[in-house]
Amino acid sequence: MATEKTMRLKLKPSARDKRRYFLVSGGGNEKIEKAILDYVGVLGFAKSAYMFVKKAKGRAVGSCLRQELNNVRAGLGFGGMKIDKVSGTLKGLGV
């Protein structure tokens, strides 16, 4: 049987989401989501497009859109968590 490849259209770099990856100490995925939701609400959570990436060395790695990073940072601060490092790539975080 021949395998069929599905052709995916590529987005131009200008059309892609500009995401920032951050390293959070003091919480897991559920705790991070709750802190962001409590601070910015459902609409702000959707605008930030938060995504959990992975858990590494007792810390969580998440990502959000570049424009909403300050709101996410404030929400995590009110939730008792701290962003240790922010980078444009996962490699830059060192995890």
Count CA atoms closer than 13 A to 61's CA, side-chain side.
Answer: 17
- How much of the chain exceeds pLDDT 70, in percent? 97
Across the range 5-12, mean pLDDT stands at: 83
The CATH topology of domain 19-90 is Alpha-Beta Plaits (3.30.70)
The whole-angstrom separation of Cα 47 and Cα 65 is 8
Please tell me the predicted confidence (pLDDT) of residue 2: 62
Place of tokens 């601060």: 77
Question: Which is nearest to 36 in space by CA: 12, 11, 63, 14?
Answer: 63
Query: pTM for the full model?
Result: 0.83
Contact in structure between 93 and 23 (CB atoms under 8 Å):
yes
Query: Model confidence over 26-66: pLDDT tens digits?
Result: 888 999 999 999 999 999 999 999 999 999 888 999 999 99
Give me the residue spans of the domains in the chain.
19-90
Please tell me the predicted confidence (pLDDT) of residue 41: 95
